[in-house]
Structure 1
Amino acid sequence: MKNLVILGAGTAGTMMANHLHHELKQPDWQITIVDEREEHHYQPGYLFLPFDLYTPDDIIKTIEEFIPKDVTLLKRKIERIVPTENKIQLKDSTELKYDVLIVATGAKIAPEETEGMGGEEWQKSVFDFYTFEGALALRNKLRDWKGGKLVVHITEMPIKCPVAPLEFAFLADSFFKHKHMRDKVEITYVTPLSGAFTKPKATEALEHLLHEKGINIESDFAIEQVDNEKKTIVDYGGKEIPFDILVTVPTNKGDALMERSGMGDDLNYVPTNKATLQSKDYANIFVLGDASNIPASKAGSVAHFEAEILTENILRYVKGEPLKEEFDGHANCFIETGGGKALLIDFNYTHEPVEGSFPFAGIGPLRLLKESRMNHMGKLAFRWIYWNVLLKGTHIPFVSATMSESGKHYN
């Protein structure tokens, strides 16, 4: 019997378990997935928790619900991977041997990377919403906050779901309008980028929305420290931005397991072939989701498209066939803009977000780079799709793993 081991039972790892258990059957193959956690979190839901739009029950389920019965789930802590010996050392001193390894250990926030960020004001006036604990603490703060300076801040790229900080700013604008206190809140969006987003066409549309909603933007801000006493963030040029509440996206890093295993780069992301999703250093290791260093967005849609392509490449690998260089960095993201509307963007390694229709050329029903209520409904529907379709490895009809250029306007 051969062993395929998946590290991480989050979005990417769970999808791979569901894809592969149909293809690699016992007794020839044993599939094992390892994760120390008890719960599976719908991470896009963290964005809605601070505004009381979702409850914890909406975004938390047990891991077991989504792991196939013929896949072995080990709830253990991992000490390190020994890729030269094809084995994994667990914290309890036991070892797992593998013939094929899939790394899906995700990314985590690292506030300790910025001086003062995790200091005495952490979860008092300085919050994240990229963790369940941070989003819940922020919800409790916003429930009775009387107003002041709200700063939404990105430390550095890459981050999980690059549009989420923008969505937070837009939803905050809508939230305070609904509470009839928007005039008491000054919202400032602070980014290390030269504009609101990583892609020029989308940046233009998103900055227009920021201005329209009265949200200030501070770009090219390379943070040096959070001054807890003065309640300011300070960049390396000495510029200071004051806050009453700082909602920050700290540095994102891959799992520390990669550092312990000597497999990661400076941010603990695993060097990965961007087209095949095979490790650049070890032929029998594959990487997907937020764990890799490929230049694609760290988002659930990307993991979904990767999983479809990686499934075929793993089957090719075990048969000794050449891998397909097929993954094109495809991502599509709904961007909540408040007031019951949202944008939709669709892009890949080589094509930036543009106007058009999705998923059908000329028909839609979703419009690209345009605010609409239909896009908002699509965003809300995604939670149901996530729990009932995506995690179970079911293909979404009419949505291809690689980006279609049909129906898009490249001017």
Structure 2
Amino acid sequence: MAEVVVIGAGLSGTLMAYELLPQLRKEDRLSVVSQGAVYHFVPSNPWVAVGWRKREEIEIDLADVMKRKGVRLLTQGARRVHPTENRVELGDGTSIDYDYLVVATGPELAFDEIPGLGPKGHTQSICHVDHATHAREAFEKLAANPGPVVIGAVQGASCFGPAYEFLFILETELRRRKLRDRVPMTFVTSEPYIGHLGLDGVGDTKGLLESEMREKHIKWITNARVDNVAPGLMSVEEFADDGTSRKAHELPFAYSMMLPAF
């Protein structure tokens, strides 16, 4: 009998468990360690942030799902891995032994790297459903009192697609509410060019995204470093390709969503 353990029950952890099941023998046991039993579908967070989905529509209780699959779900969370002992210390002080371990914990969101960044600061996030719910409340305040919007991804971010997705979702919802003309929009990104996506582009993403942003009257700043965020004001430094400072920007905003470094 082999003890197989997956730490993490988000998008990657649950899929990893499903992929492992057909490869295990009948006598093997698969355990998934998670923080709580509720799973939320991260790619739908941008919809929650503007009210296109309710929180409960993108959440599911893993307890019954894992039980039906024959997977042991441990909801205490993982505190520490002891690799020399093949042991995972759980959040409640108990432990689980393993023969094979998969770590699928997802990112640590580094809001603390930039003063004022994040839900505990002055910008919104769509990285977690809790953040998206908070972002929805902030969006409704924007709708009641329109003003400038700043969307993007800070230096060190490694996942840029959701920033573009949310940019266009937000723009669409503002048009639906007939507010777009009262909300100037700026996209701020550490990418060297629009559509880079951390991958040096995918096909013609540069041309496609620049065209869409021009058509929708969205300004952008690339090669950007966010220095700090104060209430309603973001300080951004724009750099040239050779690494020298090109321009400092003070961007006022009534609403901002910035992806952090992972």
Which TM-score band applies after superposition, normalised by the shorter structure? 0.7 to 0.9
- RMSD, aligned CA: 2.0
Q: What are the superposed Cα offsets for residues 159-213 of structure 1, whole Å, 9 maximum, x if unpaired? A: 34x2111111112221111111211000100001111222332122111111111
Superimposed CA distance per residue, residues 10-63 of structure 1 (whole angstroms, 9 cap, x where no aligned partner): 122212222222321232x11111112221001111111122111112111112
Aligned partner (choices 245, 248, 254) of residue 258 of structure 2: 248
Quickly say closer, same or farther: Cα 1:17–1:118, change in 2 above 3 A. closer
Which aligned pairs between 1:125-164 and structure 2 lie closer than 5 A? Answer: 126-145=123-142, 146-160=145-159, 162-164=160-162
Q: Distance in 2 between matches of 1:155 and 1:52?
A: 25
Match of 1:31 in 2: 30
SS in 2 for 1:21: helix
Q: Which amino acid aligns with 1:250?
A: P
In 1, distance between residues paired with 2:227 and 2:138? 26
Match of 2:52 in 1: 53
In the TM superposition, what is the alpha-carbon distance from 1:144 to its structure 2 partner? 4.2
TM-score by length of structure 2 reads 0.86
User: Given residue 247 of structure 1, which amino acid in structure 2 is its aligned partner?
Assistant: M
**Gap regions ≥5 residues in structure 1:** 253-411
Q: Which amino acid aligns with 1:225?
A: N
Count of aligned pairs? 246
Show CA shifts across 1:341-384 (max 9, x none): xxxxxxxxxxxxxxxxxxxxxxxxxxxxxxxxxxxxxxxxxxxx
State the one-letter code of the partner of 2:188: V
Q: Is the 8 A contact 1:195 1:207 kept in 2?
A: no
**Alignment correspondent of 2:241:** none
Residue 246 of structure 1: how far off its partner (Å): 1.5
Question: 2:242 corresponds to which residue?
Answer: none
Q: Is the 8 A contact 2:116 2:123 kept in 1?
A: no
Gaps of 5+ in 2: 239-244
**Contact 2:157–2:259, Cα closer than 8 Å, also in 1:** no
CA distance in 1, matches of 2:51, 2:184: 21
1:196 aligns with 2:194: yes
Cα distance change, pair 93–134 in 1 and its aligned pair in 2 (3 A): closer
Q: Find the aligned partners of 1:141 and 1:78 in 2 and give their Cα distance.
A: 32
Quote the Cα distance in structure 2 between the aligned partners of 1:60 and 1:149: 32
Give, in whole Å, the separation in 2 of the partners of 1:38 and 1:15: 15
- Measure, in 1, the Cα distance between the counterparts of 2:186 and 2:18: 42
Letter in 2 for 1:21: L
Amino acid at match of 1:22: P
Q: Is the 8 Å Cα contact of residues 40 and 59 (structure 2) preserved in structure 1?
A: yes
Separation in structure 2 between the aligned mates of residue 132 and residue 71 of structure 1, nearest angstrom: 25
- Aligned CA distance change for structure 1 residues 119 and 91 (closer, same or farther; 3 Å): closer
Distance 1:100 1:50 in 2: 38
Shift of 1:79: 1.5
Question: Which structure exhibits the higher relative contact order, with contacts defined as CA atoms closer than 8 Å and separated by 6 or more residues?
Answer: 2
| C-alpha separation in 2, matches of 1:24 and 1:135 | 37
SS at match of 2:148: strand
Q: What is the CA–CA distance in structure 2 between the aligned matches of 1:156 and 1:17, rounded to whole Å? A: 33
1:58-101 Cα shifts (integer Å, max 9, x gaps): 11111224324422111112121122322212233322221111
